[in-house]
Structure 1
Amino acid sequence: MSTDLGASFNEQYMNINTKLKKRFMRKPNISEATNEFIALAIQCEHSEQPAFAGHAYVGAAKCEATAGNFLGEAEHYLAAARQFMKAEKKLKMLKFYSPDRENLEAAIGCFMQALNKYPDKSPMRTSILMELADSLVMLNLKLEAVAYYEQALETVDDKTRKLMFMKNLVNLLIDCEKFNIALETANKICDSNFNMPDDILTEIQVSRVLLNLLVEPADDNKPVSLRQLFIDLLNDTETEAIPFNTDLQLKLQSIIISCMTADVSSLISVSSEVRQYLTTHQNNLLDTLIKEKRMRHLSLV
């Protein structure tokens, strides 16, 4: 490409399009145009111009659509989506703000174009949705990512994968401070009869305890399993639903009682002792819980 990369790209892109439009007495050579678009895209990638590469891959995808090669079309839309997303991440890294989100919207559009080429329950749909969601998380657009995680969940039948996706979704909702929905999702996990390893079950149950104390849903809105969890915890009942070690169970009891009695000092005290057992998301939940209880206490003084 020449020094003026933008002008060079536009010229080459238009030349390929012009060839396609010269139908006259013969059909355009779709295969040749596809290869030229791909070559142009690779050239742009090597020049570290992902947005240009994305547009070239879109050109290749449209050629494949004309030829009726829908899998090839999907493949090129995916390549375009990744290049547009790369361009967006590059802008973020350079701390440039794009108010119209041109590259990001192009990436999302290309992911959706690729998605629509696969059957409803295809593993590729799951992969595309998760890739888009993960990219949005990396861009700190976590609330937008939630919608694509939820769509991905609808495409998954395998219980192990579904469990991991739901667990990740709970943590993502906590990051977005959507505590009500996070609690509902955690409740669904525990009520879905997943065969969970003890470490995952412990994580979900601890999150449910903290989310419940933060959200404070009415008893009528609590599923039986959540009400039973608190009863068993406070009564030292041994059950498969709470595979906690003794120290963690005692600390959770103290947190629950501190919240029930509005004893903020005790809550702060026990929080320093329980943090070693908590995940990053749960520690953030605990910080939010302490903040909420402290603000409520100050408002009553």
Structure 2
Amino acid sequence: MAAEGDFLTRYRAVSNKLKKRFLRKPNVAEASEQFGQLAKELKQQDCLPYAAFCNLAMARCEQTLFNAPGEALALTDAARLFLQAEQEQRQLQAPGFDEHLQAALNCYSFAVKVYIEMNQPVMAASLCLELGNALKEMNKPGEAIIHFQRASELQTQMPIESLLSQWEVASCKILTRDYDGALAVLSEMQLACHERAPLLPGTNTPVGAFTDLMAKCEISRVLLLMLLEPPPQKLLPEHAQTLERYAWESFDSHSQVNFLPENVFLLLQSVVMACQEKDIESLKYLQTELWPLLSADHNHLLHLVLQERISPSGQGV
């Protein structure tokens, strides 16, 4: 493995080539290539932070050459190397000050900026999602929210992808126990899906990818309302309408929620009644019945609803 001194010697040797000399222009393209080669060698030797610094130097060279694609690529490589170094440090449970993570955040931010200036919002959004997912996996959902939100804003020309990024925002808000915030995001998502979803000819039955998102949002919203238990005077009209659909006295309620399988709808209806009746045993039974039918996110919410009934914490709106 190359020693730190060897890395610094080679790094300085390449950097010296960029210094202006009398009657001679520095060969920036050659320096960029050499920084890139040094980065590859250091990565192979698992010297990730040093490799990242070489990629940063390469990005500066590409910026000088007005090569925006090369600059964005080098910045992305640096970001991923810093992130990998942070992840490895965490796996080893080594003490640190998140310095590699901070460096990764800065590199991702600059790369996103370059892609936006190049009018490539899709590439910028993909980096925001990549960073958001990494932060979420590091148990930093609160910090991930802003990156998922940014991704959604950059995906305005791709409505499904934009809504999926919003779903991640809601998921992170649930993980940070901002249940009101999650409910607000999911309600906006469901409205957007309802407005965009195509209908089967001659019916009011929605079809397509928007329908799947409507179903995901509906289940989460019902469970969040059971978790929050807002008093009637604080219940927003759209949330009151949602709960009305699950009231037993409602006539043919499933026709209003025809984007949900009937068995899931009926079980959710039972969950709402069990919560209103504070019937914990029925809730436990319903959890068992719903478990294989729901996603991991939904099962997490249902678990929270049950835990709240068993040992109330005073959570409310």
TM-score by length of 2: 0.85
2:80 matches 1:82: yes
Aligned residue number for residue 296 of structure 1: 312
Alpha-carbon distance in 2 for matches of 1:67, 1:244: 55
Q: Aligned residue for 1:62? A: 60
| Distance in 1, Cα, partners of 2:216 & 2:227 | 17
Contact 2:166 2:185 (C-alpha < 8 Å) held by counterparts: yes
Residue in 1 that maps onto 2:36: 38
Distance 2:55 2:178 in 1: 37
Report the equivalent of 2:16: 18
Displacement after TM superposition at 1:264 (Å): 2.6
The letter of the residue matching 1:232 is R
Whether the aligned pair in 2 keeps the contact of 1:146 and 1:173 (CA below 8 Å) is yes
* Secondary structure at 1:96 match in 2: coil
Deviations 1:145-204 (CA, angstroms, capped at 9, x unpaired) = 111001111111121212222223323332333211111111011111232554432222
Helix, strand or coil at the partner of 1:184: helix
For 1:247, the equivalent position in structure 2 comes to 263
Q: Any idea what the Cα deviations from partners look like across 1:241-271, whole Å, max 9, x if unmatched?
A: 3433333223222221222222333323332
- Tell me if 1:94 matches 2:96: no
Residue equivalent to 1:104: 101
For the residue of structure 2 that corresponds to 1:243, the secondary structure is coil
Letter in 1 for 2:108: F
For 1:44, the aligned partner's letter is: L
CA distance in 2, matches of 1:141, 1:114: 21
Q: 1:14 Cα shift?
A: 1.3
AA of the residue aligned to 1:163: L
Counterpart-to-counterpart distance in 1, 2:210 and 2:15 = 56
Q: TM-score, normalised by structure 1?
A: 0.89
What residue identity is the alignment partner of 2:309?
K
Q: CA RMSD in A?
A: 2.3
Amino acid at match of 2:102: E
Distance in 1 between residues matched to 2:212 and 2:114, nearest whole Å:
38
Q: C-alpha distance in 2, partners of 1:177/1:273?
A: 25
* Aligned position for 1:230: 243
Equivalent pairs counted in the alignment come to 295
- The correspondence of residues 1-301 of structure 1 with structure 2, limited to 5 A, is 3-98=1-96, 100-119=97-116, 122-157=121-156, 158-192=158-192, 193-195=195-197, 196-219=209-232, 222-234=235-247, 235=250, 236-296=252-312
Q: In 2, are the aligned partners of 1:191 and 1:225 still within 8 Å (CA)?
A: no
Unmatched 5+ residue regions in structure 1?
A: none
* 1:20 and 1:30 in contact (8 A); partners too: yes
Change (3 A) 1:269 1:155: same
Instruction: Give the whole-Å Cα distance in 2 for the aligned partners of 1:296 and 1:139.
Output: 29
- Percent identity between matched residues is 27
Cα distance change on mapping 1:296 and 1:75 into 2, 3 Å: closer
- Within 2, Cα distance between the matches of 1:45 and 1:185? 41
Instruction: Specify the code of the residue in structure 1 equivalent to 2:144.
Output: A
Q: Distance in 2 between matches of 1:71 and 1:261?
A: 60
Q: Which runs of 5+ in 2 are unaligned?
A: 198-208
Q: Which amino acid aligns with 2:130?
A: E
Q: Given that residues 245 and 256 in structure 2 are in contact (C-alpha distance below 8 angstroms), is that contact kept between their aligned partners in structure 1?
A: no
